């Protein structure tokens, strides 16, 4: 098998994050000690059970929810299924979502409509902001996206009545605990705080409207298994990421402003999505008219820099971004970068330089 070519961390602007250092350091140890069945009464099982309970308590506290409201599932897609399907159990109910929601939310809307339900797709303005229109006089389910993982646009939670069930997509949010006041279900993706893939965090409010959409088996709300070592690694990653987050975000905010200025000054006709003052500094999306995304990515990589293009959740890595299209941008020449603590002004200048060279080469 061919080895994966190393790219320096300061030159990697892809959305994927490496595993948080402390979680990575202890990962093998966790796999060595967390393969027991925590439901059994033996000593090793009891020790693992205690570790899992401690991990759940730690994770829940960082998410701003009670440990009794936290569910662990083995895959982010299944997490969306659990969190949202439990609010759409009535086939004739109304489902409200936005054009910039993840594709999985759009799929839920199509399915709900096909089953006889009513859907309302809310548009965004040129800055990516949703003006939620919620009829407080009738029951509905609302999908709320806290932060868009392509553009970084931050949404304000809409005011809703007790007739509205709220699903909160917190997968790429910061702070992680910034939930709408009246949330019913929620989801977080560990990969955005340096946690492992193959696990997802689902919140089900104790006082919420969520109902188990599947068959009732004892008191379980979700089904299937999850990796116990990865759960413990998630708790370690979240604990350590949170300690550094405030300082890191100060740095990333400065870098986001810097790269916006550099891109605008060096690349003709570039369109940068969102207002930097209302965006998560980690995420940046832009359009370069007249360029071919695949060719630009190849030329940029040849110079030792990695970026993303197209949609973050399309059928392919170079599919047009439905988010940028909803904001009024072209379907072509869509690019994304993710800023990380390893980046600095010098690496950002290099990024802009190789982009300029790639465009000049006829990409």
Q: What is the pLDDT of residues 257-314, one digit of tens each?
A: 999 999 999 999 999 999 888 999 999 999 999 999 989 999 999 999 999 998 776 5
Given a contact cutoff of 8 angstroms between Cβ atoms, the answer to whether 130 and 155 are in contact is yes
pLDDT for residue 225: 87
Over the stretch 42-88, which tens digit does the pLDDT of each residue have? 888 899 999 999 999 999 999 999 999 999 999 999 999 999 999 99
Q: Exposure pattern of 89-108 as b/e (b: 16+ CB <10 Å)? A: eeeebbbbbbbbbbebbbeb
Is the confidence at residue 1, as pLDDT, over 50?
Answer: no
Q: If DSSP codes are grouped into helix, strand and coil, which group holds residue 282?
A: coil
Instruction: Write the pLDDT tens digit of every residue in 140-178.
Output: 999 999 999 999 999 999 889 889 999 999 999 999 999
Cβ pair 185, 197 in contact under 8 A:
no
Beta strands in 248-331 (DSSP E): 271-272, 283-287, 308-309
Asked if the peptide bond before residue 214 counts as cis, ω within 30 degrees of 0, the response is no
Cα–Cα distance, 326 to 232 (Å, whole number)? 39
**317 pLDDT more than 70:** no
Res. 230 pLDDT band, cuts 50 70 90: very high
Backbone angles phi, psi at 98, to 5 degrees: -120, 165
Q: Say whether pTM exceeds 0.75.
A: yes
Question: End-to-end alpha-carbon separation of the chain, Å?
Answer: 31
Residue 129: CB atoms within 10 A of its CB come to: 18
Q: Higher-confidence residue: 197 or 44?
A: 197
Q: Which domains does the chain have, with CATH numbers?
A: 10-16+242-360 (3.90.1150.10), 21-240 (3.40.640.10)
Residue 331 has pLDDT above 90, yes or no: no
pLDDT value of position 2: 43
């Amino acid at each position: 098998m061919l080895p994966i070519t190393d790219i320096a961390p300061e030159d990697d602007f892809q959305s994927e994050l490496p595993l948080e250092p402390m979680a990575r350091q202890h990962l093998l140890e966790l796999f060595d000690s967390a393969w027991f069945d925590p439901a059994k009464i033996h000593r090793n099982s009891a020790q693992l059970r205690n570790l899992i309970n401690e991990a759940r308590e730690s994770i829940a506290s960082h998410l701003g929810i009670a440990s009794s409201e936290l569910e662990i599932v083995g895959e982010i897609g299944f997490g969306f299924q659990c969190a949202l399907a439990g609010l759409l159990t009535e086939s004739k109910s109304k489902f409200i979502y936005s054009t910039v929601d993840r594709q999985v939310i759009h799929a839920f809307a199509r399915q709900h409509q096909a089953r006889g339900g009513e859907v309302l797709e809310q548009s965004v303005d040129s800055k990516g902001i949703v003006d939620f229109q919620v009829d407080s006089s009738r029951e509905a389910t609302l999908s709320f996206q806290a932060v868009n993982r392509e553009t970084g646009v931050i949404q304000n939670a809409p005011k809703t009545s007790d007739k509205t069930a709220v699903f909160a997509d917190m997968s790429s949010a910061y702070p992680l605990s910034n939930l709408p006041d009246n949330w019913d279900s929620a989801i977080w993706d560990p990969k955005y705080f340096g946690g492992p893939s193959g696990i997802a965090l689902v919140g089900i409010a104790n006082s919420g409207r969520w109902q188990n959409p599947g068959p009732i088996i004892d008191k379980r709300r979700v089904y299937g298994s999850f990796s116990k070592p990865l759960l413990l690694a998630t708790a370690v990653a979240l604990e350590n990421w949170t300690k550094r987050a405030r300082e890191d975000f100060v740095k990333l905010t400065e870098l986001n402003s810097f790269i916006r200025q550099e891109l605008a000054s060096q690349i003709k006709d570039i369109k940068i999505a969102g207002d930097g003052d209302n965006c998560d500094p980690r995420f940046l999306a832009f359009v370069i008219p007249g360029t071919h995304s695949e060719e630009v990515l190849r030329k940029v990589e040849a110079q030792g820099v990695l970026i993303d293009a197209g949609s973050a959740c399309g059928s392919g890595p170079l599919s047009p971004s439905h988010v940028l299209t909803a904001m009024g941008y072209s379907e072509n020449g869509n690019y994304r970068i993710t800023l990380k603590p390893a980046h600095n002004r010098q690496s950002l200048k290099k990024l802009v330089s190789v982009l300029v060279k790639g465009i000049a080469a006829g990409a």
